[in-house]
C-alpha cells in the first residue's frame, strides 16, 4: 500500500480521461471520504453535487470549457447558513469557514479518488452565479469548485508544470 506522502507526490491533474464510467462503489467511497473530512466546529457545511448524467455533464461543459471530457464531475459548494462563523475576527468581519471547509472536503475526495486509481483535475474557471442558475442550486449553496474525474486514458501524463515545486524556504517561515 502506498503511503499518503507517495500518493500526494504522485498525484497530478489529469487532462486525458478515458470515457469509461467510474463504478458507483468508488463514487460512494470518494463521497464518504469527503464526509469524513474535518470542517470548522464539525458543522459540515459542504454540499456536493455529483454530475454524471449526460444531461448534467452537458450543462457543466457549457459553463466550464476545460472539462477534459471527463465522464464524471463533482461540484463542491457550501451552505452559507450552516458554515461556522467567527464574530471575533477583526480582519474579516464575521469570518465564514464555508469556502475553507468545502476546499478541505474537495481535496480529501480527490486524494481518495487517486487511491482508487481514479484521476481528477481541479476546476475553478467558472462564474458562480451561472453555475447556481444552471444547476438550480438553492440560494444558500455557494459554489466553490468543481473537479472532473475518471480513469486516465492511454495518453495520460502529467503536465510539465506538475514537476515545478518551489523550495520550502520560499513557502514556509519558521517563527
pLDDT digits (tens, 9 = 90+) for 83-113: 999 988 888 888 999 999 999 999 999 999 9
| Conformational region of residue 108, where left means phi above 0, alpha means psi within -120 to 50, and beta covers everything else | alpha
Mean pLDDT along residues 145-174: 94
Q: For residue 49, give the H/E element and its range.
A: strand 46-51
Q: Write out pLDDT tens, residues 15-35.
A: 999 999 999 999 999 999 999
Q: CA nearest 40: which of 83, 95, 87? A: 83
Q: Write out pLDDT tens, residues 105-158.
A: 999 999 999 999 999 999 998 999 999 999 999 999 999 999 999 999 999 999
Spatial contact of 119 and 14, defined as CB atoms under 8 Å apart: yes
pLDDT surpasses 90 at 64: no
pLDDT given at position 81: 97
pLDDT given at position 63: 86
- Ranges 53-67, 71-85, 99-113: which has the least confidence: 53-67
Domains detected in the chain: 4-155 (3.40.109.10)
pLDDT given at position 65: 65
Can you tell me the distance from the alpha carbon of 113 to that of 30, in angstroms, rounded to the nearest whole number?
Answer: 6
Mean pLDDT along residues 65-74: 86
Dihedral (Cα; 40, 139, 126, 46), 10-degree rounding: 30
Amino acid at each position: 500500500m502506498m503511503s499518503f506522502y507517495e500518493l500526494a507526490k504522485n498525484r497530478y491533474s489529469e487532462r486525458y480521461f478515458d470515457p469509461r464510467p467510474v463504478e458507483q462503489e468508488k463514487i460512494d467511497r470518494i463521497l464518504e471520504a469527503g464526509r469524513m473530512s474535518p470542517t470548522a466546529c464539525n458543522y459540515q457545511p459542504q454540499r456536493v453535487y455529483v454530475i454524471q448524467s449526460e444531461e448534467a455533464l452537458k450543462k457543466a461543459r457549457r459553463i466550464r470549457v476545460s472539462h477534459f471530457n471527463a465522464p464524471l464531475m463533482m461540484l463542491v459548494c457550501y451552505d452559507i447558513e450552516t458554515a461556522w462563523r467567527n464574530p471575533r475576527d477583526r480582519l474579516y468581519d464575521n469570518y465564514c469557514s464555508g469556502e475553507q471547509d468545502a476546499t478541505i472536503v474537495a481535496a480529501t475526495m480527490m486524494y481518495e479518488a487517486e487511491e482508487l486509481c481514479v484521476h481528477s483535475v481541479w476546476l475553478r474557471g467558472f462564474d458562480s452565479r451561472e453555475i447556481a442558475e444552471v444547476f438550480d442550486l438553492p440560494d444558500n449553496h455557494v459554489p466553490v469548485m468543481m473537479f472532473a474525474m475518471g480513469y486516465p486514458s492511454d495518453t495520460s501524463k502529467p503536465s510539465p508544470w506538475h514537476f515545478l515545486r518551489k523550495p520550502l524556504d520560499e513557502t514556509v517561515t519558521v517563527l
